[in-house]
Chains A and B, each alone.
Chain A
């Protein structure tokens, strides 16, 4: 395994204990218990507002829990957030690569923030560009990239320091089918080549089925069900689809749909991806 390896491989890559986050009266994540083994591509599903974003923010140390705890690669998110950050890669849902910079410059910034040494930097950057199929456009401004290329550049940024665990918030939202498949291929390759554990959130049932080795569905801030895509379908009968699984476990559709700002943000991302 080539990743920046955590010190105890017997533990889970992600483990939460009664993890809770409240916003005023609203409990976005409610005593959530989740264990993600190493080397999985783990999908987090759920309606808008089910708590996926809040959960991912807590796991990436961007948001402090109200109570409970979590360990990422064996490091506590509250006691050692710095260590957690050293061992994770994060791609937010929005297109966070800087359009005014070239792909190479975007990578260089992150490489420097991750404290990679000068000699190591250029090797890792070339490697990441090559891995994501972006070598030829490395010195073009990112604003000339297609949506799929931007996503792959962001994955390249997130893999520079060989993190043990990658967090991806709706990585293929707004992408055309071809670009989507290309992102999936790279994620599967990341797991195979570097042994990375990947946690993704998605609304795309095909993505959940094809890409993810295991899924958890969130409902009102708690895990409603966990299993492989095949197990979850089989649990509902012979002809059940992933849509059926989602409808069964993601809760009351009449009340789903997320907050205005969630939906607005998703639309903005989709729009920018063209």
Chain B
């Protein structure tokens, strides 16, 4: 266990150093949520066509857009893995005695820190737009936990896809193919109640829905948490563990 933590920490540290040294990607990823909140959110808030209970539409989609940016930055994590494979980094790591699970888990945690940066950006936009966000420390810790877990899920899922497709070109195609359907088949920008039955079924098997449900209760004042936090976190934790086990099996095939 001690070695697992030390090895994972080594991977996380390297990723963080690189992130701090070259934050270009993070900055460019911050543009999209700004567009969604400032333009889409504000315009649709005028329509008042979607019932969002006690909260304003803009407040309603704020956790949704946070989850979306976690999904988008997580799901393209696999590109970096394929790049590392082309450079021989994966081969070198796999020929070292480090446990496979440490290598994969380290990547997931590093993705979590990227997710936290996204969360900070969204909180800043939300505050500027006068969305009433909850700022008490325990809630913030729970938000950070959800963001880490959500990022870990999508980054690990992305790593699995990278292990299967193995080339950047194919990955780009599949990445595009997955993100928008996952986003639209979730409760990010409209509530579950107004979805047609078939879409609601899809939403219920989409892990993004549970991330958003948790965030909706935690991030905004008066936000409604439908499934309950234990269900949300239980589902996310379960999905993460399953994906982690699959990724540990598949990651070594990248070096073949």
Please list the residues of chain A having a beta carbon within 8 angstroms of any beta carbon in chain B.
Answer: 57, 60-63, 82, 85-86, 88, 90-96, 98, 100-101, 105, 108-110, 112-115, 157, 167, 268
Please list the residues of chain B having a beta carbon within 8 angstroms of any beta carbon in chain A.
Answer: 3, 6-7, 9-11, 13-14, 17-18, 21-22, 86-89, 91-98, 252, 255-256
With a cutoff of 8 Å between Cβ atoms, the chain B residues found around residue A94 in the complex are 86-88, 91
Separation of A62 and B96 alpha carbons in the complex (Å): 10
Q: Is the interface of B mostly helix, strand, loop or mixed?
A: helix
Tell me the total A-B contact number using a CB cutoff of 8 A.
77
Separation of A141 and B6 alpha carbons in the complex (Å): 24
Contact B14 A62 (CB under 8 A): no
With a cutoff of 8 Å between Cβ atoms, the chain B residues found around residue A108 in the complex are 10
Contact A62 B7 (CB under 8 A): no
With a cutoff of 8 Å between Cβ atoms, the chain B residues found around residue A85 in the complex are 95-97
Closest 9 CB pairs of A and B: A92-B88, A94-B88, A96-B88, A112-B10, A90-B95, A113-B98, A62-B255, A85-B97, A86-B97
Contact A57 B14 (CB under 8 A): no
Separation of A94 and B255 alpha carbons in the complex (Å): 12
Separation of A214 and B10 alpha carbons in the complex (Å): 38
Give the distance to chain A from B182, nearest Cβ to Cβ, in Å: 30
Kindly list 19 other residue pairs between chains A and B, CB separation below 8 angstroms, not including A105-B14, A112-B10.
Answer: A57-B255, A62-B95, A62-B255, A62-B256, A63-B256, A85-B96, A90-B95, A91-B92, A98-B14, A98-B18, A100-B21, A101-B18, A105-B17, A108-B10, A113-B7, A114-B96, A115-B3, A115-B7, A115-B97
B103 to chain A: closest residue by CB: A113
With a cutoff of 8 Å between Cβ atoms, the chain A residues found around residue B6 in the complex are 112, 115
Contact B97 A101 (CB under 8 A): no
With a cutoff of 8 Å between Cβ atoms, the chain A residues found around residue B97 in the complex are 82, 85-86, 113-115
Contact A62 B98 (CB under 8 A): no
Separation of A109 and B93 alpha carbons in the complex (Å): 10
Separation of A113 and B6 alpha carbons in the complex (Å): 8
Contact A113 B96 (CB under 8 A): yes
Q: Could you list 20 examples of A-B contacts with CB < 8 Å?
A: A57-B255, A61-B94, A61-B95, A62-B252, A63-B256, A85-B96, A91-B92, A96-B89, A96-B91, A98-B89, A100-B18, A101-B14, A101-B18, A105-B17, A109-B11, A112-B7, A112-B9, A113-B10, A114-B97, A115-B7
Contact A96 B92 (CB under 8 A): yes
Separation of A215 and B21 alpha carbons in the complex (Å): 44
Contact A96 B87 (CB under 8 A): yes
Residue of B13, B97, B98 with most chain A CB atoms under a 10 A cut-off: B97
Contact B256 A92 (CB under 8 A): no
Residue of A101, A109, A110 with most chain B CB atoms under a 10 A cut-off: A109
Separation of A62 and B93 alpha carbons in the complex (Å): 10
With a cutoff of 8 Å between Cβ atoms, the chain B residues found around residue A92 in the complex are 88, 91-92
Contact A88 B14 (CB under 8 A): no
Separation of A93 and B98 alpha carbons in the complex (Å): 21
Contact A57 B256 (CB under 8 A): yes
Separation of A101 and B17 alpha carbons in the complex (Å): 8
Separation of A112 and B200 alpha carbons in the complex (Å): 47
A85 to chain B: closest residue by CB: B97
A102 to chain B: closest residue by CB: B17
